[in-house]
């Protein structure tokens, strides 16, 4: 697939995987709208992304919005379409995580995480869908997680939201394919992003023991995997051997992984 002059929207595009993917797409000639909550962070990201433009006439727009609020998500997507034109690719990278013990976390954290990660993605998909259906083509890329394939100790606020995205993607894949719309879902491993730094502040020691067994990826490497997956029309984009095996064999591997995780966690209980 040639990304030159394609119109792309990325939520959560001001940092982490979203920003790295935005930079790579712009370097390939794409027009871009990035959506995030903080305008200052958006402005900083835009300045960095401008430096890698392939053509001087490429458009790079920023829109500040909280996609977990339906009206904001709908209005912002509509504004992006009005400014940029019909959408060729929507990448849903906006997300939050707040690890902790289930019994200690306030209910508001569960509600907020589901609102951003799941509802924020769903609202934006509904916003772009009419134009994609009309033009009989488009690509929708949802960002899940390894925690969307297996439940991980300490991620009761986060993991279910990523499972929900997986279910949404699996349902939409078959429904939208006859309309010319390709759906993909990405399962990144831990990645060196501001979100991971924030997660580490509240991770229980048991969670750190589990997640610390794998070296984090760099966001630029995940971005490369996402772009390659889009080019190949992959439904599941699973960077690295571990994620590929987990994606393919998670049901078979789950008893072994649970045994291994339980052994790690038991060290903190004895």
DSSP letter at 13 equals T
The Cβ-side half-sphere exposure at 82, using a 13 Å CA radius, reads 7
Q: Are 117 and 162 in contact (CB under 8 A)?
A: yes
Is residue 260 annotated as part of the catalytic site, yes or no? no
| Cα 35 off chain centre by | 13
Concerning whether 158 is annotated as a catalytic residue, the answer is yes
Burial of residue 66, with CB atoms counted within 10 A of its CB: 0-12 exposed, 13-18 middle, 19 or more buried: middle
Nearest to residue 58, comparing CAs of 21, 35, 30, 94? Answer: 30
Number of residues written out for the chain: 270
**Residue in 14, 15, 121, 144 annotated catalytic:** 144
Taken in order 36, 39, 40, 44, the sign of the CA dihedral is positive
Which residue among 68, 139, 155, 162 is the active-site one?
A: 162
152-186 per-residue burial string, b: 16 or more CB within 10 A, e: under 16: bbbbbbbbbbbbbbbebbeebbeebeeeebbbbbb
- Which residue of the set 118, 123, 153, 158 is catalytic? 158
Closest to 115 in 3D by CA, of 132, 138, 98: 98
- Residue 162 annotated as catalytic: yes
Q: How many CB atoms are located within 10 Å of the residue 96 CB?
A: 19
Q: Which residue has the tokens 């399962």?
A: 187
Catalytic residues: 144, 158, 162
């Amino acid at each position: 697939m040639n990304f030159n002059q394609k119109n792309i929207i990325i939520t959560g595009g001001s940092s982490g995987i979203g920003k790295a993917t935005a930079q790579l797409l712009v370097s390939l000639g794409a027009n871009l709208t990035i959506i995030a909550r903080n305008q200052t962070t958006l402005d900083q990201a835009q300045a960095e992304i401008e430096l890698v433009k392939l053509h001087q006439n490429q458009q790079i727009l920023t829109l500040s919005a909280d996609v977990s609020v339906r009206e904001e998500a709908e209005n912002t997507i509509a504004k992006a379409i009005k400014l940029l034109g019909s959408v060729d690719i929507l990448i849903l990278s906006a997300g939050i995580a707040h690890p902790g013990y289930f019994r200690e976390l306030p209910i508001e954290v569960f509600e907020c995480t589901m609102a951003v990660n799941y509802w924020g993605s769903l609202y934006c998909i509904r916003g772009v869908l009419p134009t994609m259906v009309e033009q009989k083509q488009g690509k929708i890329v949802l960002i899940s997680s390894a925690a969307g394939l297996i439940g991980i100790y300490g991620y009761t606020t986060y993991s279910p939201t990523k499972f929900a995205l997986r279910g949404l993607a699996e349902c939409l894949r078959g429904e939208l394919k006859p309309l010319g719309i390709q759906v993909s879902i990405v399962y990144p491993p831990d990645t060196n992003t501001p979100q991971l730094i924030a997660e580490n502040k509240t991770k229980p020691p048991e969670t750190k023991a589990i997640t610390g067994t794998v070296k984090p990826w760099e966001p630029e490497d995940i971005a490369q995997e996402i772009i390659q997956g889009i080019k190949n029309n992959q439904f599941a984009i699973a960077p690295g051997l571990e994620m590929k095996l987990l994606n393919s064999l998670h049901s078979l591997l789950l008893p072994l992984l649970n045994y291994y995780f339980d052994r790690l966690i038991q060290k903190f209980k004895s």
